[in-house]
Chain A
């Protein structure tokens, strides 16, 4: 009996059951209670989903979203980590740039869109830059605050071992700040998907955001829900993959903080 209780309360099992119950409630309400095209039964959504996967439409849009998201996000990671390490390590650079960062940081990502349309146009580049700008700040902030919280003893250790600046950055600063860098990267991963979808909904001819909005506008409601389901699954998989990589990269951190 205890293993049943264990199963019920100490696993994700109940959470999965809840999702199934809600889907069933949706199905039943759409079939018997609410008779409107805006609330299609789940089965017809899955049908639409399969059709769109089978003819390659969803795959094409998914890849378009993935490509621009990863491009913008990847650039944000590279720039955010490099500038963050430099700002965290070199105090004058921090003093110079920190007020500017604090001034720009509160601007919500979508607010950059009108400006970017003026300067970069409405093409692929605009969406990439939009994603880049919005994902950049969490990575930058977490990187430099991670570097700045490195203990003095560790820097003294590096000095007594005679490490040069580049060696110190590589052997000490980057690994010591990596847990916080990864926190910033995880926050930005979610942001990058939001901005990719937003950009696609506003001006685009491909991507999941475009697909979903177009389906709504052309009244292919099951397609619209299929697009949203795809996004849910896509976001979930991205996050799981990220957590997997993170666990491998900073195993020392996870294991040692788990002990205390």
Chain B
């Protein structure tokens, strides 16, 4: 780290990022720039088709941009990094159904570390406990609810002890109660472990409830339409936080911009 770096050091830098699909020549998004400081919780929202999920995949090093760069800790990202874990929306696929819960979590660490097997298992069990699944280590995914399966994915990511967590609509397939529960779990883990989280969602309530900063992408091609700081204290509470005046004001602002973008997007296509 350079001398005189500010206390909130930039961890992730997205610079002029763009993705053009060669098949139909249209851009998913273009000229997106923002930075994420260590320990930040940033949500990325936008209407469907704005390329927010593609953006996150590029940040993870899972696909390549056609313009601009992503760098983490000053190094350009060209492939998945060990200190950056991804949580997918499709937990039924991302969690391997032929492995037990513990084996799924072990998969992330067993090839990475030379520690003896029982020590790794201990680490994994600890992370299963963090997400409230210690009793389910030997269950198989098909025996678990959707919310529990996504908890397995989170435990697997955390067992790698990443600095950064990239989450692609991780809770959108869950029912409302389960989603609220996992939102609070995620906030606890974020504060406890000092994670840096980038969270993609199409649900602006979820974005406002979770994040310190919400970046709103416009409809295709996606560009940054608005950035909102969320000055709400943590720990946040499902009922109280969502009825605070600041929350409601921000919600209105984001909602109006979002609707504009959806309309603009329809007109363009």
- Hey, which bits of chain A sit against chain B, CB under 8 A? 151, 153-154, 156-157, 159-164, 167, 171-172, 175-176, 178, 250, 252-253, 255-256, 259
Contact = CB atoms under 8 A, between A and B. Distances in A.
Interface of B: 57, 60, 62, 79-80, 82, 85-86, 88, 90, 93-94, 96-99, 107-108, 111-112, 140-142, 156, 160
Contact of B94 (A154, A171, A253, A259): A154
B94 A153 contact: yes
Contacts of B98: 175-176, 178, 250, 252-253
Q: Name B's interface SS.
A: loop
A260 to B, nearest CB: 9
Closest 9 CB pairs of A and B: A256-B142, A175-B98, A153-B93, A160-B86, A160-B80, A151-B93, A252-B98, A157-B94, A153-B90
A156 B62 CA distance: 7
A156 B111 contact: no
A171 B156 CA distance: 15
Contact of B112 (A156, A162, A176): A162
Given A153-B88, A156-B88, A164 B111 contact: yes
Q: Name A's interface SS.
A: helix
B94 to A, nearest CB: 5
A175 B108 CA distance: 17
Nearest to A174: B98
A247 to B, nearest CB: 14
B137 to A, nearest CB: 16
A171 B107 contact: yes
Contacts of B108: 161
Contacts of A162: 80, 82, 111-112
Nearest to B91: A153
A167 B96 contact: no
Contact of A175 (B62, B79, B82, B96): B96
Contacts of A172: 96
A256 B140 CA distance: 9
Contacts of B156: 161
A167 B80 contact: no
- Of the listed residues A153, A160, A253, A259, the one surrounded by the most CB atoms of chain B closer than 10 A to its CB is A160
Contact of B142 (A151, A163, A178, A255): A255
Nearest to A150: B93
Contacts of B82: 162
Contacts of B140: 252, 255-256
- Of the listed residues B94, B99, B141, the one surrounded by the most CB atoms of chain A closer than 10 A to its CB is B94
